[in-house]
Amino acid sequence: MTDLWQDAEASIEVRVADLIGRMTLTEKVAQLYGVWGVDPEVGEMAPMLQDGLGPTQPWKDVITDGLGQLTRPFGTEPVEPAAGLAALAQRQREVMAANRFGIPAQVHEECLTGLNAWQATVYPSPLCWAASFDPALVERMGARIGDDMRRLGIHQGLAPVLDVVRDARWGRVEESLGEDPFLVGLIGGSYVRGLESGGVVATLKHFAGYSASRAGRNLAPVGMGPRELADVILPPFEMALRAGARSVMNSYTDTDGVPVASDRALLTTLLRDTLGFTGTVVADYFSIAFLETLHQVAATTGEAARLALEAGIDVELPSPNAYSEPLLQAIADGLVDEKLVDRALSRVLAQKCELGLLDPDWAPAEAGDVDLDAPESRALALDLARRSTVLLANDGVLPLREGSRLAVVGPRADTAQAMMGCYSFPMHVLVHYDGIDMRLEVPTVRAALAEDFEVTYAQGCPVLGGTDEQIAEAVAAAQGADVCVAVLGDQAGLFGNGTSGEGCDVATLNLPGRQEELLEALLATGTPVVAVLLVGRPYDLSRQASRLAGLVCGFFPGEEGAHALADVLSGRINPSGRLPVSFPGAGSTQPSTYLAAPLGQRSEVSVVDPTALYPFGHGLSYADATWGAVSAVTGETWATEGSCEIAVELANDAERAVSEVVQVYLHDPVASVVRPVQQLIGAARVDLEPGQRARVRFELSADLTSFTGRDLVRIVEPGSVELRVGASSTDIRAVLELELVGASRQVGAERVLEPTVVVEGR
């Protein structure tokens, strides 16, 4: 007879309650942690493992009472997909055989630029997703990644990163979706829908405030107030939760002295009681132990376990440190109530139930041929790389004329690594293994351009360092060419092993190493210079921008990035990406985002000018849509409890396809608290073939004007507002002046978070 907890016809709540009632305390706790077996030789990937925070018991002893999660069986070392699938299946059989209920482990992997596994497609980085302003395309990518994960027996993906960029010096900018909360939520939510459509649990990172650390330093204190948290940091998480995310990962940081891993107000009162989240909260790696070792708010590991459980963290990752013997001892000593274990366990088992892991007929995925870089995946990666390439400046040299002789120079011109971010498998894992091939085709910019043009190459300098002789070689190449293409940028890495990536923060936004010196030397030749940036963050090019013939940016555009760049440079593709982050002007040691309040703008009382060189939303094309009327369809009044509708007329009068990103910004001239001068509340990408016309309609709920008032309650406030409609945050094509009428109204988690957009007549 099947036990009630195994009855697929019974409700999840009933099944979970029945199973918990049958479990010993040790069996319960075993479901609250993961296990990660890491080769000591690759400790740089997870340096905390070298500090005694890794697994200490033999595998057979760890799984005796069951196991909550298996940590990164594919994303830790180079494993042939078929062999990895077979090994994972065997591990699962061992886990099931070892515990008396036969419960398998939930398996998680990183999936920020595609599945973090050997030979898997490396998609463009999240900054590229955002630069595409194409949520439907990002959703397709997420679904494709989810399908690959599910076929390998992986249940949970640790993505997307929803941290709104507050300081571009932060190393993890490349993992983010930009500096605007609406765009981050729009694109992040689309990725979540895609991943979850394949039955894979999406995990939102990092809840909340991680990106607001002081001076842009990784894992540094956060000093923001509750209004910044509510109005800038939280909305993307709210949008992604609405999209169906079933897991949340805590931030490493402390906010105003309270570490997030021990913050009940954030992880329970806000996340669960206010936002209605019912899934699992998983610990960012080692963050529970950090309560003792880094934050020093716990005297013992057992106390750290208590603080985390009370706050609302359900699962300890990557391995058991606190939620194991220290927790069991704390319970035995009367310091932790077993009911806290049951609360976390109920969420963990409910998710396992959703995934089918409690069903009696569940079996691990068995070995077979698996192509993790199928042609359809590569085509999708290419499409996204093309859509996300941003043309920042052009004096007419681009597109390159057929037959042009090119000098292709720079530290990023002839290396596949230039295309990939720090959470891609080649840069995250494979760099720690000498002599192992990527087993992926990742062309370089040099190779891609050589398919169309006569190319002379010189490195000029590496990303960091270099010699005068190397720069001289690049200068000589430029002097003998019609156009010099200087490919500059970052080396993705982890914890100081790169110029961009986790733990790779910078003090200023100057190009790394001698690259600015190289660029100046190239400009001095008189040969037109087109700079191509392959970067994880925006850099200060204010000293060179006016002298460049062209400037193109790709934010680690993935395995097909070089082909996408060649398509743009040659003119085969009309560039249409838009900036998700502002490029700083002079004064890059004072980074700011476009969300500045009036006091954050240029003024006569400071010599520091924070005006961006290239603003949020900016991007040029070789042919543009023709803008027609921009109108307020529903008139000039907007009820505080209602919606307004605006319409934008577009046409393509060019001889080639065009793509416009219509952007709608809110400006609130007078409010009861200080507001950003403008903030994005709607965006729509519109593709038009020659001769086509379109009408874009935005239905905008008054909820989109809401903000956190003086008493820290979110309100829709009556009064005059402006809707600034344009092609970027500074290229405004029309201003619609509206009057919000009616009573001031409180809104909460149920509010409308994005507009309804309809594109007609294509």
Predicted local confidence at residue 85, as pLDDT: 94
Predicted local confidence at residue 55, as pLDDT: 55
Q: Return d(Cα 724, Cα 549) in angstroms, integer.
A: 31
Determine the average pLDDT of the residues in 750-760. 97
Q: Return d(Cα 287, Cα 260) in angstroms, integer.
A: 9
What secondary structure does DSSP assign to 70-92, as a single string?
EE-SSSSS---HHHHHHHHHHHH
Predicted local confidence at residue 56, as pLDDT: 61
Domain range summary for the chain, segments of one domain joined by +:
4-354, 389-587, 626-760
Predicted local confidence at residue 153, as pLDDT: 96
Looking at residue 441, its amino acid is E
| pLDDT tens by residue, 331-390 | 999 999 999 999 999 999 999 999 999 999 999 988 778 899 999 999 999 999 999 999
Q: Does residue 49 or residue 716 have the better pLDDT?
A: 716
Looking at residue 632, its amino acid is A
Q: What are phi and psi of 598, to 5 degrees?
A: -55, -40
Q: What is the CATH number of domain 626-760?
A: 2.60.40.10
Closest CA to 593 of 167, 162, 127: 167
Q: What is the CATH number of domain 389-587?
A: 3.40.50.1700
pTM: 0.96
Determine the average pLDDT of the residues in 681-704. 98
Q: Return d(Cα 590, Cα 387) in angstroms, integer.
A: 30
**Locus of tokens 């085709």:** 441
Judged against a pLDDT cut of 60, whether residue 146 lies above it is answered with: yes
Q: Return d(Cα 102, Cα 95) in angstroms, integer.
A: 7
Q: Does residue 725 or residue 52 have the better pLDDT?
A: 725
Predicted local confidence at residue 37, as pLDDT: 72
> Among 1-10, 530-539, 557-566, where is mean pLDDT lowest?
1-10
Determine the average pLDDT of the residues in 722-742. 98
Predicted local confidence at residue 636, as pLDDT: 95
Determine the average pLDDT of the residues in 311-325. 97
Burial annotation 225-235 (CB, 10 A radius, 16+ → b, else e): eebbbbbbbbb
Judged against a pLDDT cut of 70, whether residue 753 lies above it is answered with: yes
Going by pLDDT thresholds of 50, 70 and 90, the confidence category of residue 41 is very low
| pLDDT tens by residue, 101-119 | 999 999 999 999 999 999 9
Predicted local confidence at residue 42, as pLDDT: 44
Strand, coil or helix: what is 326? helix
Largest Cα–Cα separation, the chain: 84
| pLDDT tens by residue, 64-102 | 999 999 999 999 999 999 999 999 999 999 999 999 999
- How far from 10 is each of 13, 122, 142, 199, CA to CA, in Å? 8, 41, 31, 20
Q: Return d(Cα 144, Cα 374) in angstroms, integer.
A: 10
Find the DSSP H helices in 441-507: 445-450, 468-479
Predicted local confidence at residue 54, as pLDDT: 55
Reported residue count of the chain is 762
Domain 4-354 has CATH 3.40.630.40: no
Q: Return d(Cα 583, Cα 318) in angstroms, integer.
A: 36
Predicted local confidence at residue 593, as pLDDT: 86
% the chain with pLDDT above 90: 91
Q: Return d(Cα 655, Cα 53) in angstroms, integer.
A: 61
Predicted local confidence at residue 62, as pLDDT: 87
Judged against a pLDDT cut of 80, whether residue 57 lies above it is answered with: no
Closest CA to 37 of 54, 60, 62, 53: 54
| pLDDT tens by residue, 577-594 | 999 999 998 766 566 789
Predicted local confidence at residue 590, as pLDDT: 64
Q: Return d(Cα 157, Cα 159) in angstroms, integer.
A: 6
Q: Would you state the structure tokens that stand for residue 747, as one six-digit string?
A: 């809104």
Strand, coil or helix: what is 359? coil
Q: Would you state the structure tokens that stand for residue 396, as one six-digit string?
A: 């007419």
Going by pLDDT thresholds of 50, 70 and 90, the confidence category of residue 166 is very high
Whether residue 318 is preceded by a cis peptide bond, meaning omega within 30 degrees of 0, is: yes
Q: Are 455 and 148 in contact (CB under 8 A)?
A: no
Q: Quote the mean pLDDT of the chain.
A: 95
Q: Would you state the structure tokens that stand for residue 312, as one six-digit string?
A: 């609302």
Predicted local confidence at residue 588, as pLDDT: 62
Predicted local confidence at residue 489, as pLDDT: 98
Find the DSSP H helices in 63-180: 81-98, 126-132, 135-151
| pLDDT tens by residue, 13-24 | 999 999 999 999
| pLDDT tens by residue, 404-437 | 999 999 999 999 999 999 999 999 999 999 989 9
Output DSSP code: residue 546.
G
- As to burial, measured by CB atoms within 10 angstroms (0-12 exposed, 13-18 middle, 19+ buried), residue 643 is middle
Going by pLDDT thresholds of 50, 70 and 90, the confidence category of residue 229 is very high
Domain 389-587 and domain 626-760 have a common topology: no
